[in-house]
Amino acid sequence: MVMQELGAPIDLARDSQIAVGFGHLKAFGQALDGLRLREMLESGDVILREPIGVTALITPWNWPIHQIFLKVIAAFFAGCTVVLKPSEITPLNAMILAEIFHEAGCPAGVFNLVNGDGPGTSDALVRHKDVAMVSFTGSTSAGVAVSVAAAQSVKKVALELGGKSPALLFTDANIEAGLASTLAKVFDNAGQNCNAPTRLLVERSIYDDVRAKVVDLAQARRVDQPSNPGNFTGPVAKTGSHG
């Protein structure tokens, strides 16, 4: 499904997109084993860890299973009910997950799925009086809007706002290795990663040489249908940022 709705090459979808989701599930399970809901301190004070309540979870389009599992499983293990609003660009994984929860006998109201766009659906969800906490992953501009909307009812907000730092290349570096690493990260997931180094700052004395090598590497990059095996660039699901 990741391949179908995101365009991720099948090997990337299986080995990274899906694998990292299951990795979150395993890690949260291990963390839960060591969680102490009631902790007595040496001072005599007691720390109680309690569910915060209804959580609104807003996930991005570029790593759907990764982000959905990261938020939903953590909220479940903390004892919170969930309202998930996936990206309208890649909503199918969330819809399948909802069916799985239903078939598994998840009690009504524990997991809730709402589809829609960011400005309309997400804003209404963030402002809802019954939502106690919002977890949002997306662009900085959308994160600001979420914070402003949540402030009306003083909700707890957790933000992961994507930003891309440049790669740096100096004369004393291994140029070939540096470029190979940089472009591999740029082209990974069709460039749809929040940490893709899509800017390259190069020392002036090697600029022309680096520029020529970048063009050659880019032109040699394989572009193919996502259903085919291998490491290549598949279709781009969406350009620009999403909130």
- Across 139-143, average pLDDT: 91
Residue 149 and residue 183 share a domain:
no
Tell me the C-alpha distance between 54 and 111, whole Å. 10
Q: Domain for residue 230, yes or no? A: no
pLDDT of 53-85, one tens digit each?
999 999 999 999 999 999 999 999 999 999 999
Residue 177 and residue 140 share a domain:
no
Residue 187 and residue 156 share a domain:
no
Q: Evaluate if residue 22 carries a pLDDT over 60.
A: yes
Q: Evaluate if residue 7 carries a pLDDT over 70.
A: yes
Write out the two tokens for 179.
């470029």
- Across 19-23, average pLDDT: 91
Q: How many domains does the chain have?
A: 2
Residue 145 and residue 118 share a domain:
yes
State the chain's mean pLDDT as an integer: 92
Report the percent of the chain where pLDDT is more than 70. Answer: 98
Residue 125 and residue 107 share a domain:
yes
pLDDT of 169-191, one tens digit each?
999 999 999 999 999 999 999 88
Residue 148 and residue 70 share a domain:
yes
So what's the pLDDT on residue 145? Answer: 94
Q: Which domain holds residue 21?
A: 2-29+48-161
Query: Does the annotation mark 88 as catalytic?
Result: no
Residue 129 and residue 73 share a domain:
yes
So what's the pLDDT on residue 101? Answer: 94
Q: Of 60, 57, 64, whose CA–CA distance to 13 is shortest?
A: 64
- Across 137-166, average pLDDT: 92
So what's the pLDDT on residue 241? Answer: 45
Residue 156 and residue 214 share a domain:
no
- Across 11-39, average pLDDT: 91
Tell me the C-alpha distance between 109 and 53, whole Å. 12
Q: Is the dihedral of CA 221, 224, 229, 234 positive or negative?
A: positive
Q: Are 145 and 123 in contact (CB under 8 A)?
A: yes
Band (pLDDT 50/70/90 cuts) for residue 239 is low
Of these residues, 5, 88, 106, 194, which one is catalytic?
Answer: 194
Q: How many of the other CB atoms lie within 10 Å of CB of 232? A: 17
Tell me the C-alpha distance between 126 and 141, whole Å. 15
Of these residues, 99, 160, 176, 203, which one is catalytic?
Answer: 160
CATH number at residue 114: 3.40.605.10
So what's the pLDDT on residue 238? Answer: 67
pLDDT of 213-231, one tens digit each?
999 999 999 999 999 999 9
Q: Of 118, 141, 161, at which residue does a domain stop?
A: 161
Q: Of 146, 161, 176, at which residue does a domain stop?
A: 161
Write out the two tokens for 243.
């909130």
Q: Evaluate if residue 34 carries a pLDDT over 90.
A: no
Q: Domain for residue 106, yes or no? A: yes
So what's the pLDDT on residue 243? Answer: 40
Residue 151 and residue 70 share a domain:
yes
Query: Does the annotation mark 160 as catalytic?
Result: yes
Q: Domain for residue 57, yes or no? A: yes
Residue 122 and residue 6 share a domain:
yes
Sequence length of the chain is 243
- Across 88-110, average pLDDT: 95
So what's the pLDDT on residue 155? Answer: 95
